[in-house]
Amino acid sequence: MTDKPVEEMTFEEALRELESVVGRLERGDVALEESITLYERGAALKARCERKLAEAEEKVARITLNAEGQPTGTQPLDAG
């Protein structure tokens, strides 16, 4: 587990740490209090990953294509 705040992590960093947390919890070789702390950190990491994925999906959805199917730019955030 790193000391880096979850909100400052990239998707890849958060996913890597989440995998580590899940692995430690699955092994069951941590004390109860540490398990609780790990679970809370894992929940925060999961939420971070979900937010970053949603952001990426929004960016992909905003990509506009020309008649030939080539990217031409992005739509504004408020475009429907």
Give the pLDDT confidence of 18-42 residue by residue, as tens digits: 999 999 999 999 999 999 999 999 9
**Which domains, and CATH codes, for the chain?**
6-72 (1.10.287)
* Cβ atoms < 10 Å from Cβ of 17: 21
What confidence score (pLDDT) does residue 80 get? 47
Q: What percent of the chain has pLDDT over 90?
A: 66
**37-40: Cβ within 8 A, 24+ apart:** 38/1
3-state secondary structure the chain: CCCCCHHHCCHHHHHHHHHHHHHHHHHCCCCHHHHHHHHHHHHHHHHHHHHHHHHHHHHHHHEEECCCCCEEEECCCCCC
Q: Is 64 left (phi over 0), alpha (psi -120 to 50) or beta?
A: beta
